[in-house]
Structure 1
Amino acid sequence: MQDANGGVAEEPDKLNVAVTFIHGMVEKAASYLPSVIGALVVLVIGLWVAGRIKKLVSAGISKSGRIDETLAGFLSSLVHYGLIALVLITTLGVFGVPTTSFAAVIGAAGLAIGLALQGTLGHVASGVMMLGFRPFDVGDFVDAAGVSGTVKKIGLFTTEMSTTDNKKLIIPNGMIFDDVITNYAGFDTRRVDFLFGVSYDDDLDKAISLIKDEIEKDGRGLSEPEPVIAVDSLGDSSVNILARVWVNREDYFPVKWALLKSVKERFDAEGVSIPYPCRSIYMEKSE
């Protein structure tokens, strides 16, 4: 087509170019459409499956009754986010993105983060082990990491304890799990040990009988294992009588304090002496 000046009209050419471009875009979009639909399907179904698996893992752990709620939530979340990462990588693969290099980048980033946070992650790992194996529970009195106290809270990073004079201790879990843990509340029963010193001039059978009588009168000692009362050693100024009494865990200190008082008072009433440490001094006269 020519214009009034004899020139060629450009409108049809522009229209053809536009139509060709749109046609090419439609063809290209159509070629990607199966991949897009497949990726969306994988993403939606994968996220739904990840959520369901998280709920199943959380419910299964909770039903076991042996794992702390904190650890149960941590493990279920760990599984959930791991599945989400797997779903995202699979989705990218379906969409046509090379996932090999992508996975390598994620692995390198994870290694770098792990090295940077190795101390913190070590405490987290110790916290997971403690919450899983339960060397102690909240409310137990323990010796751990060189300190003693009652456990108030067990977390993934730290454990909170209170001392006997009510000071708050916050201890990294790695320090606790890498050290010897003494749990005084680990068993239902404990043994109270006494050592009573009597004079060499006293009747040992009488002293043993008085100790046994006071243990029976107290009534909190267990019959199985039965109490043990015997001469333990010959000291510098006294004969030492050992008494071992098994009690329920909560009666340990009440029984210890009560029997120390009652045996002392009974010895006084029955004329059994508890000698003071003494030394004999010999003086030689010089000629």
Structure 2
Amino acid sequence: MTDERAQSTLAPILTDMSTLADILGAKLPFILIGLTCFIVAFILSGPISRLLVKPVKHFNKSELVALVTKRLISLLIVLLGAYVLLRLSGLTEFAIAVASGTGLAGLIVGFAFKDIAENFISSLLLSVQKPFKIGDVVDVASNTGVISRVTSRATTLVDFDGNHIQIPNAVIYKSIIKNYTANPKMRSHFVIGIGYDASASGAQQLALDILLEHSAILDKPKPQVLVDSLGSSTLNLKVYFWIDSDKNSILKVRSVIQRSILEAFETAGIPMPDDARERIIKYAQDDDVASLESKSSHLSSKEKDANSVSKTRTSGSQNLASREQHVKEDDLESEVSEIKEQAQQSRSPEQGDNIL
């Protein structure tokens, strides 16, 4: 009885195994063909993708675009081989389910990694459009510095304080980008006020002569000195000039020009008064006259001391002026090249290959 029960229990299992063996025997050639197709597709995905991506390089020089295109082509070829394997194995419904599941999984992953995908797509667009290149001085997202590295996730700037600033590519793509290196010619300006009793045209010509004589000021576009506004106590002149930012620092040139114009105005006797101030004089009462007289005696003694101090300052200023005559020409060299060298020598905090 025990043997009969065991045989009755194992009979369905043996029947199913026999049926499965018959099915496998019938499907085995197709499975082998499908497996061969999958292996061939996997092996050929690399060479085929490299061959098909060559026309892309003729239209676009971006290495990132070529790499992404090559990987997409390889993935499609491998998926095609897997689909053929499942179809030949008789798993047509499973093949369709895998294909649809892949699309659904891609959608879920896209939502889960939205920021990463956004940065990656932005890096693709930046590599295609190329609004800047490595070594350019740009202002983006309220940060000014030298482009040090651009990867598939972020762009690294080295600012003029030597700090590394990483900005996500999505932020850069959405921001206003000001490229200072694209056109090295830069314009600067400042305002200087003169008294109303001075000749405005004479002051303008004097300042313009200083600009035209300076070697760092470009002749084209020409510098200008224009009347900007009428202040409460001064006639305000606005000085415009252009420089080559690759050679000279705009901050240093502006400092030297301001100092030169100030010295020229002082030599020519052109007054530069400060803002007008209102003074309120309160008349003293009769009983305060005595105290005022005592205060005036103290003030007279202080004035004597002040006169001696002013004489000392005058002699000191004369000595300083004599020293300034022997000072060499000011250093106007741009510091951008030094920042670029620092960016090349420093350790990059952003891991990944450059895409530009």
TM class by smaller structure? 0.7 to 0.9
**Map of 1:89 onto structure 2:** 79
Local SS of the residue matching 1:87? helix
Structure showing greater relative contact order (alpha-carbon pairs closer than 8 Å, 6 or more residues apart): 2
Partner letter of residue 129 of structure 2? F
Distance (whole Å) between structure 2 residues aligned to residue 37 and residue 172 of structure 1: 44
- Report whether the alignment pairs 1:162 with 2:161: no
Local SS of the residue matching 2:79? helix
Q: Is the 8 A contact 1:150 1:162 kept in 2?
A: yes
Local SS of the residue matching 1:266? helix
Comparing 167-176 with 30-39, which one deviates more in the overlay? 30-39
Call closer, same or farther: CA 1:270–1:91 in 2, change over 3 Å.
same
Residue from 99, 123, 128 that aligns with 2:119: 123
**Map of 1:266 onto structure 2:** 264
What do the CA deviations read for 1:90-135 (whole angstroms, capped 9, x no partner)?
A: 2233332534322211111111111110012112222222232222
Output aligned runs, 1:242-253, within 5 Å.
242-250=238-246, 251=248, 252-253=250-251
Local SS of the residue matching 2:73? helix
- Report whether the alignment pairs 1:181 with 2:171: no
Distance (whole Å) between structure 2 residues aligned to residue 190 and residue 143 of structure 1: 14
- Report whether the alignment pairs 1:108 with 2:107: no
**Map of 2:50 onto structure 1:** 51
TM-score (norm 1): 0.77
Q: Is the 8 A contact 2:212 2:223 kept in 1?
A: no
Unaligned runs of 5+ in 2: 1-20, 285-356
Size of the aligned set, in residue pairs, is 258
Instruction: Report the Cα offset of residue 38 of structure 1.
Output: 5.0
**Map of 2:316 onto structure 1:** none
- Report whether the alignment pairs 1:216 with 2:212: yes
Distance (whole Å) between structure 1 residues aligned to residue 135 and residue 73 of structure 2: 36
Call closer, same or farther: CA 1:123–1:284 in 2, change over 3 Å.
same
**Map of 2:143 onto structure 1:** 147
Local SS of the residue matching 1:194? strand
Partner letter of residue 81 of structure 1? R
Output aligned runs, 1:50-89, within 5 Å.
50-54=49-53, 57-58=56-57, 61-62=60-61, 67=62, 72=63, 74-89=64-79
**Map of 2:292 onto structure 1:** none
What do the CA deviations read for 1:181-231 (whole angstroms, capped 9, x no partner)?
A: 233333231112121211111111221111111011103333332222221
Distance (whole Å) between structure 2 residues aligned to residue 210 and residue 198 of structure 1: 12
Partner letter of residue 78 of structure 1? V
What do the CA deviations read for 1:149-207 (whole angstroms, capped 9, x no partner)?
A: 33222222111122322222122222222222233333231112121211111111221
Partner letter of residue 198 of structure 1? I
Unaligned runs of 5+ in 1: 1-21
What do the CA deviations read for 1:74-99 (whole angstroms, capped 9, x no partner)?
A: 32222222112221222233332534
Q: CA RMSD in A?
A: 3.0
Instruction: Report the Cα offset of residue 242 of structure 1.
Output: 1.5
TM-score (norm 2): 0.63
Distance (whole Å) between structure 1 residues aligned to residue 30 and residue 134 of structure 2: 61
Distance (whole Å) between structure 2 residues aligned to residue 232 and residue 24 of structure 1: 95
| Structure with more of its chain in helix, by fraction | 2
Output aligned runs, 1:272-283, within 5 Å.
272-283=270-281
Distance (whole Å) between structure 1 residues aligned to residue 147 and residue 31 of structure 2: 59
Q: Percent same amino acid at aligned positions? A: 23
